[in-house]
Amino acid sequence: MKMLSWITKETNIDFLKVRKLTYALTLMLVALSCWCIAFKGFNYGIDFSGGVLIELKSDHQINPDKLRSELSGLNLDEVTLQTIGDSGDEIMLRVQGEGSDEDSQRVMVAKIRQALGNGYEYRRVETVGPQVGDELKRQGILASLVAILAISAYIWFRFEWQFALGALIGLFNDLLITAGLLSLFNFDFSLTTVAAILTVAGYSVNDKVVSYDRIRENLRKYKKMPQYDLLNKSINDIFSRTILTGLTTIFAAVALFIFGGDTLRSFSFTILFGVIIGTYSSIYVSDALLNLFDLRVTQEAHKNVNPFGNA
């Protein structure tokens, strides 16, 4: 209760005092993310890479080395084994199927079943051909780009160009660092992950729009207040709302990450860190960048040229 009362009370924190330090931290995270994406790449799921995914369960602990030796005579492509949970009686078998069609992959599944025998419960079996995987990858990239462009267009027309620039830099920062974390920690990158990234984009933009609305409101309300103090006041005004909204989402994402199983692991990880990064960037990227401009001069100029006003 004490923590909750601290969050909900009015704050007077000088957020912008450490903006130079956070600029450096942001640039470092962006550089690390770019390095991971460029040189480490993504661990593409079956959706994008094509292949066979089988989730096995046994009534005893599964020995991955023994399982691999049982499959060694099938001349399969790259085989990946991943233990699920802590008990050791569940394992996920993934076979890359590059260059093979779906009929060949169905034959592959039949051979795997025959080699492993009846000692396992087949809880999940998925096959995706390489052509389908490539098409899904293109569609996933296209969907992400269309969503980002639509968000960018909305922000550009909704706010003055300084606000739009700050929001777009913050949005790309959020998505790039989140993608970099997925690459760094080798989480599956699938259609479910794309959905999580788009969810993070929506959350991030909403957070920034709420913050910018308060800043514009205070610009009209406190015409003599120094801009540095006004930005700090605006961030403090909505700080409790930002933290409570973020914590609610984080708690749900943590629960999914712990109890949602391997299928939702990448999704919940993306939501969890995407929300944290989005909350950070709303204050220390999007809002902090506004202090580089004279917002009052821009606002007056915008009123004079905008036939719809500034509502």
Give the chain's largest Cα–Cα span: 79
Answer whether 178's CB lies under 8 Å from 273's CB: yes
SS3 126: strand
- What does DSSP say about strands 90-96 and 121-128: parallel, antiparallel, or unpaired? unpaired
Q: What are phi and psi of 165, to 5 degrees?
A: -65, -45
Domain residue spans of the chain = 2-44+133-305, 51-126
Q: What is the pLDDT of residue 300?
A: 56
- Confidence at 100, pLDDT banded by 50, 70, 90: low
Q: What is the average per-residue pLDDT within 41-66?
A: 80
**The sheet that has 51-57: what strands, in order across it?**
79-83, 90-96, 51-57, 121-128
Answer yes or no: CATH 3.40.430.10 is held by domain 51-126: no
Q: What is the average per-residue pLDDT within 158-166?
A: 84
In the CATH scheme, what is the code of domain 2-44+133-305?
A: 1.20.1640.10
Q: Which helix (H) or strand (E) holds 52?
A: strand 51-57
- The pTM for the full model equals 0.79
Report the percentage of the chain scoring pLDDT > 90.
30
As a whole number of angstroms, the distance between CA 227 and CA 215 comes to 10
As a whole number of angstroms, the distance between CA 150 and CA 279 comes to 21
Q: Residue 93 pLDDT more than 90? A: no
Q: What is the pLDDT of residue 23?
A: 93
Q: Please list, residue by residue across 45-58, b when 16 or more beta carbons sit within 10 angstroms of its beta carbon and e when fewer do.
A: bbbbbbbbbbbbbb
Q: Which is more confidently placed, 185 or 122?
A: 185
Q: For the segment 125-141, what is each residue's pLDDT rounded down to a tens digit?
A: 877 766 666 777 788 77
Q: For the segment 196-244, what is each residue's pLDDT rounded down to a tens digit?
A: 998 999 899 889 889 999 998 998 888 888 999 999 999 999 998 888 8
> Could you say which DSSP state residue 41 is in?
-
